Amino acid sequence: MLITRQFDRTGKKSMSMATTQNTRDKAAAISQDRSSVAQPSTTLRGWLDHLAARDRLAVIRSGTSLQFELAAISKRLDGIKAVLFPHPGGHRMPVVSGLVSDRGWIAEAMGVEPSNVLRQFQAAALNPLPWEEVDGAPVQEVVHREIDLLKLLPIPVHNEHDNGAYITAGLLIARNPRTGIQNVSIHRLQVTGPNRLGALLLPRHTHVFFEAAERAGQPLDVAIVIGVDPLTLLSSQAIAPIDFDELTIAGALHGAPLPVVKCVTCDVRVPAEAEIVVEGRLLPMVREMEGPFGEFPQYYGEEAKRHVIEVTAVTHRKDALFHTIVGGGLEHLLLGGIPREATLLAHLQRSFTNVLDVHLARGGVCRYHLYVQISKRQEGEAKNIIMGAFGGHYDIKQVVVVDEDVDIHNSTEVEWAIATRFQADRDLLIVGNSQGSKLDPSTRDGVGAKMGLDATKPLDATEMKFKRIRVPGEEEVDLAKAVSSISGRSWRQATTA
Ligand SMILES: Cc1cc2nc3c(=O)[nH]c(=O)nc-3n(C[C@H](O)[C@H](O)[C@H](O)COP(=O)(O)O)c2cc1C
Ligand SMILES: [Mn+2]
């Protein structure tokens, strides 16, 4: 059921109908994990305020070049601060980057503890909230129908060998031509002409919709939404079935239905509170060169003939902000990693009730190396869990299973478990010639090997054999009290006093 909201002149929303009971129940179902004070973040602007209040938003001097310099500064601050460039490359429109380059920040955006991020995302995917349509939206305050993308928007060039300017943080929304249900995903988009974009569509949902449209000789209408809140960004990366509208996960994470508005040149509905929307259509029977482009495995995605979008309109807020994700940075890695972790955890827990947690390690580009923490009950089960994980996503290349005393968010801890609880002749599982990631350059066009390591303790080991050493009282030491005020330089004086 759709509910219409009105925007008054101040841009404040007023609901014209009460929220349904069903909607309230769903919102309540997922909000129980939230700490009592924290509220989920629902707009990019609100999120920037949140970061700024915690001294996590660096504002850069005017005049930054869009060619490399903007990406260089963003990368230096990757994981430390988000970045705002007020007037890059002579544009009036600011650029922001690094909005979610830390797992703890994502927890804050959700309003939960970091240990509850995966559970909260799973709960949102299980209790989606339908969006509400509004007439008139901030994102349509300004409408352009004469399009020159590089003049209208401050679109940067990121990596050394990128083939030009790329829109990298655009949520591509399309409707299933058969059912009308929307899909949301992020695709790299190279600016190839004043109103033309080259797009990489891997064989997922947008690709399926486009194939159906192309078979009928039709273009596929799309909207590219730039400048949304972190939870909507995260929702775009959910591994959901086809015809599961990812915007309904965003609504669930917000705890309120997402307000959406109809595009000015097509029927696609877009988040009303976004900053910018590029409307267009994927052209049937047209492919043009796109790439190379610096990708998440820290290598270039190759140049090839790819899909083409013809832009029909650009709409934005009066004082819009442009969001860019630097290819291969933490923002890119975490946005893909966390929804995958949530899906993989649910997948493993369906078959193995003793799986406690999973983590996609940063060294494995938050895609290829999975750490699994279990409460071991039975010899051999770690290998079954490894096989289950290989089936969870073809990107998974290495799985390490550890006991509950190992912190899987700390790669040094996992390496310690391998060093002291694993023997390759007994605990290693290798599966050759299986499907992997095409972006892993060591595969043969996506065909490669998988490796699983059982780094759990044997159940029959004597208690002392695998007992971690510990100094009693270490955690309780109050260093402020324990350390003398005499400086180290005066150590002779301290020892003779
Ligand atoms: C920053 C970023 C860039 C991405 N670029 C692409 C891309 O160029 N092509 C692509 O097919 N997927 C890309 N992805 C991954 C998809 O957005 C992701 O797999 C999405 O969940 C697919 O949605 P779907 O399952 O609804 O098709 C990117 C993800 C992120 C976070
Ligand atoms: Mn989808």
Please choose, from the candidates 327, 323, 324, the residue with its C-alpha nearest in 3D space to the C-alpha of residue 160. Answer: 327
3-state SS of the chain is CCCCEEECCCCCEEECCCCCHHHHHHHHHHHCCCCCCCCCCCCHHHHHHHHHHCCCEEECCCCCCCECHHHHHHHHCCCCCEEEECCHHHCCCCEEECCCCCHHHHHHHHCCCHHHHHHHHHHHHHCCCCCEEEECCHHHCEEECCCCHHHHCCCCECCCCCCCCEECCEEEEEECCCCCCEEEEECCEEEEECCEEEECCCCCHHHHHHHHHHHCCCCEEEEEEECCCHHHHHHCCCCCCCCCCCHHHHHHHHCCCCEEEECCCCCCEEECCCCEEEEEEEEEEEEEEECCEECCCCCEECCEEEEEEEEEEEEECCCCCEECCCCCCHHHHHHHHHHHHHHHHHHHHHHCCCEEEEEECHHHCCCCEEEEEECCCCCCHHHHHHHHHHHHCCCCCEEEEECCCCCCCCHHHHHHHHHHHCCHHHHEEEEEEEECCCCCCCCECCEEEEEEEECCCCCCCCCCCCCCCCCCCCCCCCHHHHCCCCCHHHHHHHHHC
The residues near 480 (Cβ < 8 Å, ≥ 6 apart) are none
Count CB-CB contacts under 10 A for residue 447: 12
Q: Could you check whether the bond before residue 130 is cis, i.e. omega within 30 degrees of 0? A: no
Q: What atom in ligand 1 is closest to the CA of residue 202?
A: 11
186 CA → ligand 1 middle, Å: 4
**Spatial separation of the C-alpha atoms in residues 42 and 45, rounded to whole Å:** 9
Q: Does 325 sit in the ligand 1 pocket, CB within 6 Å?
A: yes
3-state SS of 476-492 is CCCHHHHCCCCCHHHHH
Q: Does 168 sit in the ligand 1 pocket, CB within 6 Å?
A: yes
Give the model's pLDDT for residue 12.
32
Nearest CA to ligand 1 atom 28: 186
* Structural domains of the chain sorted by starting position, each given as residue range(s) with its CATH number in brackets: 2-325 (2.30.110.10), 352-455 (3.40.1670.10)
Q: Which ligand is nearest to the CA of 171?
A: 1
Give the model's pLDDT for residue 20.
41
Which DSSP state fits 166?
E
Q: What atom in ligand 1 is closest to the CA of residue 208?
A: 27
Q: Does 332 sit in the ligand 1 pocket, CB within 6 Å?
A: yes
CB 291 within 8 A of CB 303: yes
329 CA → ligand 1 middle, Å: 15
Mean pLDDT by 10 residues, the chain (497 residues): 33 36 48 58 96 97 96 97 97 97 96 96 97 97 98 98 98 97 98 98 96 98 98 97 97 98 98 98 98 96 97 98 95 96 96 98 97 97 98 97 98 98 98 96 96 98 95 96 88 86
Give the model's pLDDT for residue 322.
98
Q: What stretch of H or E contains 215?
A: helix 205-215
Q: Which ligand is nearest to the CA of 198?
A: 1
Q: Best of 74, 166, 186 to mutate for ligand 1, by most ligand atoms within 8 A of CB? A: 186
CB 87 within 8 A of CB 63: yes
Which DSSP state fits 243?
T
Q: Does 182 sit in the ligand 1 pocket, CB within 6 Å?
A: no
Q: Which ligand is nearest to the CA of 208?
A: 1
236 CA → ligand 1 middle, Å: 8
Q: Does 335 sit in the ligand 1 pocket, CB within 6 Å?
A: yes
**Spatial separation of the C-alpha atoms in residues 121 and 123, rounded to whole Å:** 5
Three-state DSSP at 159 gives: coil
Give the model's pLDDT for residue 30.
55
Query: Per the structure block, which two tokens stand in for 149?
Result: 């993308």
User: Between β-strands 189-193 and 57-59, what pairing exists: parallel, antiparallel or unpaired?
Assistant: unpaired
Count CB-CB contacts under 10 A for residue 446: 14
The residue written with tokens 């949530």 in the block is 342
38 CA → ligand 2 middle, Å: 29
Query: Per the structure block, which two tokens stand in for 440?
Result: 């892993």
Query: Each residue of 366-382: pLDDT tens digit?
Result: 999 999 999 999 999 99
411 CA → ligand 2 middle, Å: 31
149 CA → ligand 2 middle, Å: 27
Q: What stretch of H or E contains 231?
A: helix 230-235
Q: Which ligand is nearest to the CA of 233?
A: 1
Which residue type, as a one-letter code, is found at position 139? V
User: Between β-strands 259-262 and 269-271, what pairing exists: parallel, antiparallel or unpaired?
Assistant: antiparallel
DSSP H helices in 77-166: 103-110, 117-126, 149-152
Q: What atom in ligand 1 is closest to the CA of residue 242?
A: 26
Which residue type, as a one-letter code, is found at position 143? V
**Spatial separation of the C-alpha atoms in residues 442 and 367, rounded to whole Å:** 15
The residue written with tokens 């972190």 in the block is 230
Nearest CA to ligand 1 atom 21: 237
**Spatial separation of the C-alpha atoms in residues 24 and 13, rounded to whole Å:** 18
- Alpha-carbon distance values, 109 to 145, 301, 488 (Å): 35, 31, 43
Nearest CA to ligand 1 atom 13: 187
Give the model's pLDDT for residue 344.
97
Query: Per the structure block, which two tokens stand in for 152?
Result: 């209208």
Supply the DSSP string of 39-84, one letter for each residue. ----SHHHHHHHHHHTT-EEEPPTT--TBTHHHHHHHHTTTT-EEE
Q: Does 249 sit in the ligand 1 pocket, CB within 6 Å?
A: no
187 CA → ligand 1 middle, Å: 5
Q: What atom in ligand 1 is closest to the CA of residue 183?
A: 26
Query: Each residue of 89-103: pLDDT tens digit?
Result: 999 999 999 999 999
Q: Does 237 sit in the ligand 1 pocket, CB within 6 Å?
A: yes
Give the model's pLDDT for residue 489.
86
